[in-house]
Amino acid sequence: MRLEQITAKALSKVKNDRYILSLAVAKRAKELEKGATTTLNIDPKGYKSADFALMEIAEGAIRIEGLVEIF
């Protein structure tokens, strides 16, 4: 899947709020950099932690708690 499609799918998970998506991606990317394991079954070579975070959000593999409930 292309990055644009992944981003669009992830945006739909956060009610098209780019600010919330950027906060969620940043938070998850930091967790991944500190040693958290990804929930996706893909080869990690060639991907950055932010890419993994965006893909996890798009696939609904992780929950975004405390950010989406404000709507």
Does the reported pTM lie above 0.75? yes
Output the pLDDT for position 70. 43
pLDDT of the chain, 71 residues: tens digit per residue: 788 999 999 999 888 999 999 999 999 999 999 998 888 888 878 889 999 999 999 998 887 766 555 43
Output the pLDDT for position 66. 65
Contact 64, 15 (CB under 8 A): no
Residues 6+ apart with CB under 8 A from 24: 14, 53, 57, 64, 67
Quickly tell me which residue has 């500190």 as its tokens.
Answer: 34
Joined tokens for residue 52: 């993994």
Contact 26, 48 (CB under 8 A): no
Measured from the Cβ of residue 30, the count of other Cβ atoms closer than 10 Å reads: 13
Output the pLDDT for position 71. 38
Domain 3-70 = CATH 1.10.10.1100:
no
